[in-house]
Amino acid sequence: MAARFRHPVNGAAAARPAAVDGTADQSAALDGGASRATAVDATADRPAAPEAAASGGAAAEVRGLSRAFDGRPVLADVDLRIESGEFVALLGRSGSGKSTLLRVLAGLDREAEGTVAASDSAMVAFQEPRLLPWKRVWANIALGLDGTAPKEAAVAALGEVGLADHADAWPLTLSGGEAQRASLARALVREPELLLLDEPFGALDALTRITMHDLVLHLWRRHLPGVLLVTHDVDEALLLADRVLVLADGRIAHEEHIGLPRPRHRDADALLHARDRLLAVLGVHPTGDR
């Protein structure tokens, strides 16, 4: 991992932030009190193991991370390690610090205390695609790209997300799902070692959301970045991630290992039990039939 270190305990200088969607200036170590569980499908035809690449390194790691706003603690001595090629989802109630943690990993929040090591190639995709309306779609993807053929690289990335025919379109002509696809293309064209997704599907309709889930898994398998997905959707986290974390009271309160092969079915017994555990940690106690 080509690492950058920010807010280290020894007071070394902070490094530049990760690019944000291409438009910016160009086993886990968890809280000791966290609960842990594993969702395993005993009927699976093959061993239930994460699909993460066994590359032996970390895409990101934070140690003793704390952040407060106006004296109110939001993150409190958080430890987190995301392996190279691992897909991690982060759940938590609104205001729990999920997006704050993501912004620290991206280098967008330099007021936190603790140590952060993350890839220099980290990229962020937000809920809003943040495409520049005065640039063609391909030019949004190529923004800040090095090399002699940025348009060719951008068009190839658009092809990966099914938007090659929209390369010369204006962003405002894209649907919500198409704009989010373009946002993913912009992040992945740089082959990041760490991909940070801040509720990227929250504004999409249910059918488009399912399609985007499949696309993200396809792109993750192809490029194998470490991924941190911030979401409020428990089912989304269970269907996509190797590991699901719950952030509560400023700490990692629960860790759920999802040892199921993909594609996963939301009605699998192992996922239903994991869902109940996660909802309980989140303070939600469903009643009635599933």
Give the pLDDT confidence score for residue 13 in this predicted structure: 35
Q: Regarding beta strands 123-126 and 113-119, do their DSSP bridges make them parallel or antiparallel, or are they unpaired?
A: unpaired
Helix (H, G, I), strand (E, B) or coil at 30: coil
What are residue 40's DSSP bridge partners?
Answer: 259
Helix (H, G, I), strand (E, B) or coil at 66: strand
Q: Regarding beta strands 87-91 and 113-119, do their DSSP bridges make them parallel or antiparallel, or are they unpaired?
A: unpaired
> Contact at 8 Å (CB) between 98 and 252?
no
pLDDT in tens, the chain (290 residues): 544 444 443 333 344 445 545 444 333 333 345 677 766 543 343 333 334 433 458 999 999 999 999 989 999 999 999 999 999 999 999 889 999 999 999 999 989 999 999 888 899 998 889 999 999 999 999 998 887 789 999 999 999 999 999 999 999 999 999 999 999 999 999 999 999 999 988 888 889 889 999 999 999 999 999 999 999 999 999 999 999 999 999 999 999 999 999 999 999 999 999 999 999 999 987 665 55
* Positive or negative: CA dihedral 209, 36, 80, 223: negative
Give the pLDDT confidence score for residue 49 in this predicted structure: 33
Give the pLDDT confidence score for residue 34 in this predicted structure: 66
Q: Which of 186, 268, 226 is nearest to 86 (CA)?
A: 226
Q: Edge-to-edge, what's the strand order for the sheet holding 87-91?
A: 19-20, 123-126, 194-198, 226-230, 87-91, 243-248, 251-259, 35-40
- 263 preceded by cis ω (within 30°)? yes
Burial class (CB in 10 A: 0-12, 13-18, 19+), 220: buried
DSSP 56: S
Rounded (to 5) percent helix, strand, coil in the chain:
30, 25, 45
Q: Which of 192, 2, 240, 193 is nearest to 82 (CA)?
A: 193
Q: How far is residue 105's CA from residue 21's CA, in Å, rounded to a whole number?
A: 14
pTM of this prediction? 0.82
Q: Give Cβ neighbours of residue 130 (< 8 Å, ≥ 6 apart).
A: 20, 21, 23, 183
Supply the DSSP string of 166-215, one letter for each residue.
GTTS-GGGS-HHHHHHHHHHHHHTT--SEEEEESTTTTS-HHHHHHHHHH
Give the pLDDT confidence score for residue 265 in this predicted structure: 92
Q: Give Cβ neighbours of residue 270 (< 8 Å, ≥ 6 apart).
A: 39, 40, 41, 42, 259, 260
Q: Which domains does the chain have, with CATH numbers?
A: 3-281 (3.40.50.300)
Q: Give Cβ neighbours of residue 98 (< 8 Å, ≥ 6 apart).
A: 90, 91, 92, 230, 247
Q: Which of 140, 145, 149 is nearest to 181 (CA)?
A: 140
Give the pLDDT confidence score for residue 40 in this predicted structure: 52
Give the pLDDT confidence score for residue 147 in this predicted structure: 76
